[in-house]
Amino acid sequence: MAVAPACAACLLPPVLLRWHQGCADFASPGALPGVGYGSFLFDLCITQKGMLVSAFDVSTDSGGLVVASAPVTAAQRAVAAHCVHRYGQLPAPGQLVAVGSWAVLAALTAGIAGLLGLAWQSIAALVACGASLGVAGLLLHAHTRLKVADAGIFGIGPVAAGMITVAGVSNPVARVIVGIAGAAVATWLLYRLFLIPRRHTHRLTVVVGGLLIGITSTSLLGVVAVAALHDPRQVLTAQVGMVPAASSLAAWLTLACCLVVVAALVWHSTNLNVFYTGQVACTVFGVSVSRIALLTFCATVLLVGISAATSGPLVGVGMLAVIVVRRVTMFDIRLLLPATAAAGVLVVLLAAIAQQLTGVPAGALVAGVSCAVVLWWLTKGTL
């Protein structure tokens, strides 16, 4: 059983560790038990083919090793434990140390284990948030015919999360209510200003309008939140999207709302297919355009509001989920609804694993990938 991981690890390139000595003070001894608390600070850079993969701080005292970065990620603990086990003490400053490539697999395994080590409420909330944002992205994509259609890019998620931050509520039910209210305001502004008045609005106008709604509202709400909370770090944490530490009630609320909304959409899937074909088809088949538009509006508001109440503004999840699904299935809402929900869950779980490995918030990671995709489409002129 131990041969297969070793063979797989041999396919990975070697990793080099370079140590640099300095001085600093520490607030805590870190996460490795039974080792000393030192006064020397070392910067450990893991480089792979000349590219920086990760960097963190460690301290030593009498040959012991203590990880002292904040937060300490699973990958950092795995590599630090390997160094202690193999060398017993830190090498000389500036010395290159070869580490077996199996340590990279160990770090990735530790990141996945860190995700699985979360409370079941947090994992359930992640699954519900991914499914909600995936379905919301599908609804916006089908309504606007835009590849970049996403609740976060259009400013709906940031407004909902900003309203929750300003309100400063901690009760799960209150957070959901405030999040839904914020999502309703942002969605109404998007529809009223850019989607309803002109049927042939340019694609870039809709994208820029949604971005302006999100940026303006987030800036204003951020100023109000800082003035009310007197802690900019708390506001920043709420706006970038972290792996949620959800309570049981919050997890059940998120899952229940997501299931109810998706079930309602599946029930009306035939009319939704006709609606997304065009107004001429709606007239021919007798489908009420206003009723289906109201259904999609309410579904988007509910899905984005409950996800923002649990995980904050995860920008780009819906867009990435639709990209994945449209590669493998045709435009049939009965197939796309469960498929985009599953793809959204996959995107969020991958972002959560990356957060466990790097310490970077999941929202920032997903937003970075989404930004790269949008910039690529802008250069190609295929929004």
pLDDT digits (tens, 9 = 90+) for 23-43: 222 223 333 333 332 222 233
What DSSP character marks residue 125? H
Confidence bin at 171 (pLDDT 50/70/90) = confident
Is the peptide bond prior to 244 cis by the omega test (within 30 degrees of 0)?
A: no
The residues facing 43 across adjacent strands are 20, 57
Provide the CB-side half-sphere exposure for 372 (13 A, CA): 6
Sign of the four-CA dihedral 253, 254, 257, 259: negative
Name 114's Cβ contacts closer than 8 Å, sequence gap at least 6. 73, 74, 353, 356, 357
pLDDT digits (tens, 9 = 90+) for 101-141: 444 555 555 556 555 656 677 777 888 888 999 999 988 88
Q: Give the separation between CA 73 and CA 208, rounded to whole angstroms.
A: 36
- Contact, 42 vs 78, CB < 8 A? no
How far apart, in Å, are the Cα atoms of 40 and each of 30, 44, 63, 84, 308? 14, 13, 11, 16, 42
Q: Report helix angle 248-267 to 269-277, nearest 10.
A: 70
**Summary mean pLDDT of the chain:** 67
- Please say whether the beta carbons of 338 and 290 come within 8 A: no
* CATH number for the domain running over 119-380: 1.10.3470.10
Task: Check pLDDT > 70 for residue 365.
Answer: yes
Compute the C-alpha angle 341/345/311, nearest 5°. 110
Report the candidate in 54, 51, 58 with the shortest Cα–Cα distance to residue 36: 58
0.85 surpassed by pTM: no
- Judged against a pLDDT cut of 60, whether residue 363 lies above it is answered with yes
What is the DSSP code string of 15-43? EEEEEEEEE---SS--S-TT----SEEEE
Residue with token string 């970075």: 368
pLDDT score recorded for residue 149: 84
pLDDT band at 242 (very low <50, low <70, confident <90, very high): low
- Say if residue 286's pLDDT is above 70: yes
> Long-range CB contacts (< 8 A, 24+ apart) of 268-273?
268/292, 268/295, 269/333, 269/334, 269/337, 272/142, 272/296, 272/333, 273/332, 273/333, 273/334
Confidence check: pLDDT of 207 > 70 = yes
Would you list the domain boundaries of the chain? 8-115, 119-380
Asked if 306 contacts 259 with a C-beta cutoff of 8 angstroms, the reply is no
pLDDT > 50? residue 295: yes
Residue 117 backbone phi and psi in degrees, to 5: -80, -5
Judged by average pLDDT, the poorest of 70-74, 290-294, 313-317 is 70-74
Of the two residues 47 and 322, the one the predictor is more confident about is 322
Give the least confident one: 187-201, 257-271, 290-304: 187-201
pLDDT band at 81 (very low <50, low <70, confident <90, very high): low
* CA–CA gap between residue 152 and residue 213 (Å, rounded): 11
Q: 162 φ, ψ to 5°? A: -65, -40
Report the alpha-carbon distance of residue 330 to residue 215 in Å, rounded. 34
pLDDT greater than 60 at residue 301: yes
pLDDT of residue 228: 60
Query: What is the Cα–Cα distance from 61 to 277, expressed in whole angstroms?
Result: 69
Quote the tokens at residue 333: 């809402």
